[in-house]
Structure 1
Amino acid sequence: MKAMFNREEERLEVLAQLAGAPMPTRAALIEEYRKRSEEAYAPETRRCYHQIVRAFSAWCDGMGYSPKPPISPSVVAEYVDWLGGQIRSTTIETRLWAIAEMHRASFEVSPCRHRLVELALKSVKRKYGAAVRQAPALGKKEVCDAISRLSDSRADLRNKALLWILTDSWCRASEVVAFKVKDLLRQDDGSSLLYVTRSKTDPYGEGAYAFLSAEGTRATLRWIEVVGLKLDDPIITKSQVGGRRTPLNPATVSRIIKQCIGRDDVSAHSMRVGGVQDAFRIGCDLSSIMVAGRWSSPEMPARYARRILASQSAAAQVSRAFELERATVP
């Protein structure tokens, strides 16, 4: 009987062969891996990786360990223990990804899959919890109220367009700042579609569409006309007269939102959360919500709407039906 293919065994065998290869061969492979990684990963991912490597190396130096691969699983498990309670477990998992990538880049076996490291992470999650912090929700009503308070200055015209795009499209800040004028596609009913060329979940640019209401379209077109933006100019750009027509930084988008809404706890992601909660509140089905937010899995929208779904659960419906029945009984 033919033996089944085992990818993990093959990977370890290749690594063992590379470990015994001449140093010039290993050095050439490591350099090629570095160059290809620079091209394969997004700039933000590369920055995150280098920051984690620097932090881990500093910890190793302080503890008297070598930060160069291969690193012992017991050292990585100790690092996980040290991180517990300081940062969220999801952030620890991101750091483990970077440590694993360090070893892949050196063609060494990653210690992060070792049972010692897995148990250390489980221990941290059990002790400190594994809850994911969620951005506070910003529903459509609160956003529209904020828009109504804005003036007709250049900055506020830009901010109106920004708020409408965010609350209508459920786009991430990184997607919103990437929109160009040519990505605004008008529809017969006065609304528009925004073409999302690339996103966090679409790094290779397959493309998707997001909705912009008729009122949001009017606000966006007015901003484009006042500033005189061209087809290849970013829609959300600086509002100063004579300012460079470059995309805003996503962090700047969140600062503008805080200022317009009058709350320090919100961000661009708050409107994505608020949109999902509004949709569940009025009875939209999960599939249409996934299409609107461009999710391939129901996990994230369901997480955003946990409070709403609890209020609409079978337990809540039974309680309301029982209360109604008791109220109608003489």
Structure 2
Amino acid sequence: MPREFDRHNERVEALSAISRLPSSRRHQLIEEYRQRSENAFAHATLRNYHMVIRLFGKWCADHGYSPEPPVSPEILASWVDDMGGKLASNTIETRLWGIAELHRSRFLPSPTRHRLVDLALKGVKRKYGTTQRQAPALGKKDVIHAIDRLGSSRLELRDKAMLWIMTDSWCRSSEVSAFKVKNLLRQDDGSSLLYVSRSKTDQYGEGAYAYLSAKGTLAVLAWIEEAKLKADDPILTKSQKGAQHLPLDPATISRILRRCTGRKDVSAHSTRIGGVHDAFRIGCDLSSIMVAGRWTSPEMPARYGRKISAQQSAAAKVSEAFNQVAMESDSK
């Protein structure tokens, strides 16, 4: 009779078999895992992983522990306790993923699955909550106001193109940074589509499209002409004449946005959230908002729009109606 498949037991048996291999063969597997990880994971994922391992190593050194795997569940639970109240719960979960990946890379069981670690994380969530800090919204009205203040210098033409792309497309900064001239697809009505070849939620390059208005298209074309960009060049580059046509770093995009708007609290993600707020205000439904922002589930746009939804809720409409009745009664 065939044995029923159990994922956990199969994993334990596979790890046990690998642990019995000769040391030289085991090191070969670990090295192959490292090489394959570099091809399988996005650059940002690998960067975050190395950051987690570095931070965990420092914490262990400060507390007299060894960071070398296998890490005991007790040590990991203490690390979770120490992060509680300092970091958001989703950030703690990301750091636990890093420790789990560290053990997977050595073909060792992950201590992150231990009940002690699970209870520590639940305790942190219960004590400090799970609310995620959200970037301030930056709606189209504010962005257009910033665009109107810009002149026609080479730098300002580049900044105008960037601002229009940000406010029209609702793209993430990594997507905006990756746009090439050939990704600008002109439409008959004067608007354009921007081809998003890869994104945070599309690691394998299925591709998607973002919208760029007619005014945004003109601004982007003006910059392309000024910078003499070719089809394979990134749309957003350094503004200096003679500079290499290299894409702007996502962090640079946030800095330009703050400089142009005069707001120190915003980031590149603010126009994405602001777009959702604008859409809810004019009555767009959630499905159309998901299409515009290329979300695969309604969770994030619904979260972004919570404040607007409360302002437009039945409670708000009832209060408004009763206030209107009271005003009419007072005027009689």
| Greater shift in the superposed pair: 118-127 or 70-79 | 118-127
Could you tell me how far apart the structure 2 residues matched to 1:159 and 1:288 are? Answer: 28
Could you tell me how far apart the structure 1 residues matched to 2:318 and 2:162 are? Answer: 42
Could you tell me how far apart the structure 2 residues matched to 1:54 and 1:140 are? Answer: 40
Tell me, which stretches of 5 or more residues in structure 2 are unaligned?
none
Equivalence for 2:88:
88
Structural RMSD (CA): 1.5
Partner SS, residue 178 of structure 2? coil
Partner SS, residue 232 of structure 1? coil
Q: Deviations over 1:178-210 (max 9, x none)?
A: 111110000000000000011111111110000
Equivalence for 2:141:
141
Equivalence for 1:109:
109
Could you tell me how far apart the structure 1 residues matched to 2:187 and 2:60 are? Answer: 58
Partner SS, residue 44 of structure 2? helix
Equivalence for 1:283:
283
Q: Deviations over 1:113-171 (max 9, x none)?
A: 11111111111122222210100000000000000000100000000000000000000
Equivalence for 1:31:
31
CA shift for structure 1 position 69: 1.3
In the alignment of these two chains, the number of paired residues is 330
Could you tell me how far apart the structure 2 residues matched to 1:168 and 1:182 are? Answer: 18
Q: Deviations over 1:236-263 (max 9, x none)?
A: 0011111111101111111100000001
| Greater shift in the superposed pair: 34-43 or 124-133 | 124-133
Could you tell me how far apart the structure 2 residues matched to 1:67 and 1:225 are? Answer: 54
CA shift for structure 1 position 97: 0.4
CA shift for structure 1 position 61: 2.5
Could you tell me how far apart the structure 1 residues matched to 2:14 and 2:322 are? Answer: 65
Equivalence for 1:274:
274
CA shift for structure 1 position 19: 1.8
| Greater shift in the superposed pair: 145-154 or 45-54 | 45-54
Matches within 5 A, 1:1-330: 4-327=4-327
Could you tell me how far apart the structure 2 residues matched to 1:278 and 1:51 are? Answer: 36
Q: Deviations over 1:83-119 (max 9, x none)?
A: 1122222211111000000110011110101111111
Paired amino acid for 2:214: A
CA shift for structure 1 position 314: 2.2
What's the TM-score once normalised by structure 2's chain length?
Answer: 0.96
Could you tell me how far apart the structure 1 residues matched to 2:158 and 2:125 are? Answer: 43
Partner SS, residue 200 of structure 1? coil
Tell me, which stretches of 5 or more residues in structure 1 are unaligned?
none
Could you tell me how far apart the structure 2 residues matched to 1:280 and 1:62 are? Answer: 48
Could you tell me how far apart the structure 2 residues matched to 1:311 and 1:190 are? Answer: 35
| Greater shift in the superposed pair: 248-257 or 50-59 | 50-59
Partner SS, residue 177 of structure 1? helix
Paired amino acid for 1:25: R
Could you tell me how far apart the structure 2 residues matched to 1:250 and 1:325 are? Answer: 51
Paired amino acid for 2:69: P
Paired amino acid for 2:128: Y
